[in-house]
Structure 1
Amino acid sequence: MYPILELFSARGHTHYFQHTRSFYTYRRVRVISLILAILQSAWILVDHYLLPADVQMPIAIARVLSSLFFLGLFFWGRRPYSPRLALLRQLLLFLVLTAFHTFSTALLIIHGHEQSVAGYQFFPFMIISMMAIFPLAIVEVLGITLLLLLVELVTQLSRGNLGEVSAINNLWLLLVLAVVAGWAAVNQLNMLLVLYRQATRDALTGLANRRLILEQLDTDMALSKDAEKPLAVLLFDLDKFKGFNDTYGHAAGDIVLKYFAGILKKHTRKKLDLAGRFGGEEFLMVLPGMSGAEASVVAEAIGKTCREVSVQVPSGEKVGFTTSIGVAVLKQGETQSELIRRADEALYKAKDSGRDQYKLAD
């Protein structure tokens, strides 16, 4: 996928990167929610000296209610890796701040204090600047900006100053802040994408490295249990690879590893499956939502592709290679290490049975 498209919309991201971004967002929302919960309640004391008496109580109640909501957002720890819940957390954060601003502004306008109270006019600028805290795609930045501009337009309409110089200045300032904050948010997303690739990719094959494959297997297992859907893993070992290296050299071995990685990529479902280098000539593929029978079809297809191809090595020769595969399906209550152990046992059964085949774990 082209980098500009990755920054334009989050739809093209793999669900593994989405999990990373979602957890990053989850942690930031928690910290900001706790800060806002404290500030909203503490500011009641400031309002006591700044606000006229006839609006102090309703605004204080609004502050307490918003503080309680932010505390609820802070303690909401359900599914921190979920992209949908990450987006919902962000929206709730912005919407509650916007709702408090709209309510307090309307109250000040009704009681004729809107021009005499300092501080409340700056809420829209603060809210739109908060975009810079999160790694957002361009589409998400535009959506938040349009929402906040719409709220400002409605507020100006209720004040009756829509089209006046001061109102136009406010809209212009909001747009400028949106561009700056949006630029920072998109840059955060770009930086997160770059760091994610550097930290999670195997340098030789371009597949996921061992760290990522294990982390995402953990996440996929949790999601599988929550959704009560199956999950399968395939553990691969290239047959007689040590002898291949001794015969043709390590450069030839690297070519085979990269070629095999390409085969695995072709047999993964986009945005669903994850293939990674587990170590040396061992590879692991995670297949969310697949039963043992479905995973066996994938294993057979990969084994067949390996048998049919030949790779040209530096000596000029064309050589073939095969792989043995262990297939295991997640059992209820099973841990990650137990699942991989069963796949490993199935792999060695395949090797003991003559190699170049797959075995399904019990």
Structure 2
Amino acid sequence: MPNSSYSENDDRRQHVNKPQKLLNSGKSFFASNSTIEDVISTSHHSKDFIQTRNQYIVERLKLVCLFFAISVPLSSLFDFIAFENVQAELLLVNRLILSCALIGLCQLIRRSNTVNMTRLVLTLSFLFPVLFYTATELSLTQTMAYRDIPLSFTLIPYLIVAMLGLFPLTLIGGIALLSVISLPLTILEYIQYSGNYAAVIDKLWLLVLFGGISLWLQSGQMVMLMKLYRESTIDSLTGLINRRVLIRQIEAISKNSNAVQKSFSIMMFDLDHFKRVNDTYGHMVGDQVLVKISSLLKWELRNSDVIARFGGEEFLVVMPHLELEQATHVALRVADVIRKSSVMTDQQQEVTFTTSIGVTQYIVDEPIAKLFKRVDDLLYQAKNQGRDRVENTPVLEPVELVAS
């Protein structure tokens, strides 16, 4: 029987349609049809996609911060044309302060690009220019009428809002960022309110218009990024993650394991005589077998397990926080379920199949390539020993599957 620490999670297999289950199986919103919920929030996004999107935002954010850190002071040349010298000098000081702040944010995101740090820098990179505009306008209106301020300056907050469309944000994230940006502008309007509510409504309408455009652009970028990610990282037949994503995830798991000095286990599956299935029944039936195996793995394994299609008929599973003995019992159970399953051909022929499995435990600080080599050797050992069996490293004696 499986170890109790694994069995406690077995009841979760009865809820295979839960979003979290789909996340770890590599499907989630990366299935053939995305849903509106995936654009609204990140609750259905896999950790790997969140990291991929975060890196995309980081690279664009660094470029934007650097560009405006340079262009904002240069804009002071136009200030000396549009304003009096005293006002232009005030603007120059404010622009230099904003430029230094943007350079600081650029350096901050270079040193740390975690998801939370990216959110913070992204928020500040838009909030600082709005604060610059708010403080500058308050200063300018002390010496000149608002109607005399050049249009190029009064449009700054709307341009800032429109630039939010450069980033693939969810609707919730975009609205939250818009709210942060709008707060200083709301305070500014409250301070400057002179009873002309029509002018306030006009400004509010422009803000809503530009905000809606930016949200639409953000959603479009999110959908595009989802599509590109899905096509490059998800196996179209089984819906499982491919080897590229697996490597990233297992590197992250091993890094965490090294930090907490805890291990994990992996198992590699290879369908026995799969070529014979293709030759006898055709490749369409072979595809049905692969889909069936992937469905069984998603059903039998925990939400925290990472399942990937490693090769043609090879699958690899990473089991965080499981030692070899526990992982071996899991492999035995999964292999037994696979052996008892089948698919039907169009001619109503029942096709059964078995699998050979290699199981091993990660050794803290060992290279991932060495871990893969060891589990691959164990898999071929299982095949050479007669197939339909589980082989593990010497912590346990090799266990042969016995038909019930």
- Asked if TM exceeds 0.5, the reply is yes
- How far, CA to CA, are the matches of 2:298 and 2:230 in structure 1? 16
* Counterpart mapping for 1:1-362 below 5 A: 3-54=35-86, 59-75=91-107, 76-78=109-111, 80=113, 82-110=114-142, 115-118=147-150, 119-161=152-194, 164-222=197-255, 230-270=263-303, 272-288=304-320, 290-293=322-325, 295-361=327-393
Deviations 1:59-115 (A, max 9, x none): 4444333323322333433564x4333323322222222232233233334555655
Moved more, 153-162 or 352-361: 352-361
State the alpha-carbon separation in 2 of the partners of residues 113 and 286 from structure 1: 67
Equivalent position SS for 1:319: strand
Secondary structure, counterpart of 2:318 in structure 1: strand
Cα distance in 2 between the residues matched to 1:232 and 1:163: 69
Shift of 1:220: 4.7
1:298 deviates by 4.0
Asked if the contact 1:235/1:283 (under 8 Å) is kept, the reply is yes
Cα distance 1:58–1:223, how it changes in 2: closer, same or farther (>3 A)? farther
What's the CA shift for 1:230? 4.3
C-alpha deviation, 1:122, in angstroms:
2.0
1:112-149 Cα shifts (integer Å, max 9, x gaps): 56554434322210121012111121212222222333
**Change in CA separation of 1:144 and 1:219 when aligned onto 2, cut-off 3 Å:** same
Higher relative contact order (CA 8 A, sep 6+): 2
- Residue 163 and residue 286 in structure 1: after superposition, are their counterparts in 2 closer, same or farther (change >3 A)? farther
Which secondary structure does the structure 2 equivalent of 1:77 belong to?
Answer: helix
Looking at structure 2, the residues matched to 360 and 85 of structure 1 have their Cα atoms a distance apart, in angstroms, of: 42
Letter matched to residue 177 of structure 2: I
Shift in Å at residue 206 of structure 1? 2.2
Coordinate RMSD, CA, aligned: 2.9
- Is the CA contact (8 Å cut-off) linking 2:126 and 2:181 kept in structure 1? no
CA distance in structure 1 between the aligned counterparts of 2:307 and 2:75, rounded to whole angstroms: 52
Query: C-alpha offsets along residues 288-332 of structure 1, whole Å, 9 cap, x if unaligned?
Result: 555545544543342232133232234423233222223344444
**Matched-pair contact (CA < 8 Å) for 1:345–1:361:** no
Range with bigger deviation, 256-265 or 340-349:
340-349
| 1:129–1:218 Cα change, 3 Å | same
More off after superposition, 86-95 vs 49-58: 49-58
Q: Contact 1:161–1:167 at 8 Å: present in 2 too?
A: no
- Deviation of 1:222 (Å): 4.9
Structure 2 distance, partners of 1:103, 1:294, is 62
Bigger mean CA offset, 58-67 vs 192-201: 58-67
State the distance in 2 between where 1:307 and 1:227 align. 37
TM-score, reference length from structure 2: 0.78
Aligned length: 360
- Report the AA paired with residue 317 of structure 2: M
Q: Cα distance 1:27–1:287, how it changes in 2: closer, same or farther (>3 A)?
A: farther
SS of the residue corresponding to residue 94 of structure 1 reads: helix
- Can you list the C-alpha shifts for 1:226-270, whole angstroms capped at 9, x where unaligned? 676645433211122233334444333222111001112224554
TM-score, normalised on structure 1? Answer: 0.86
Letter in 1 for 2:244: R
Paired amino acid for 1:316:
Q
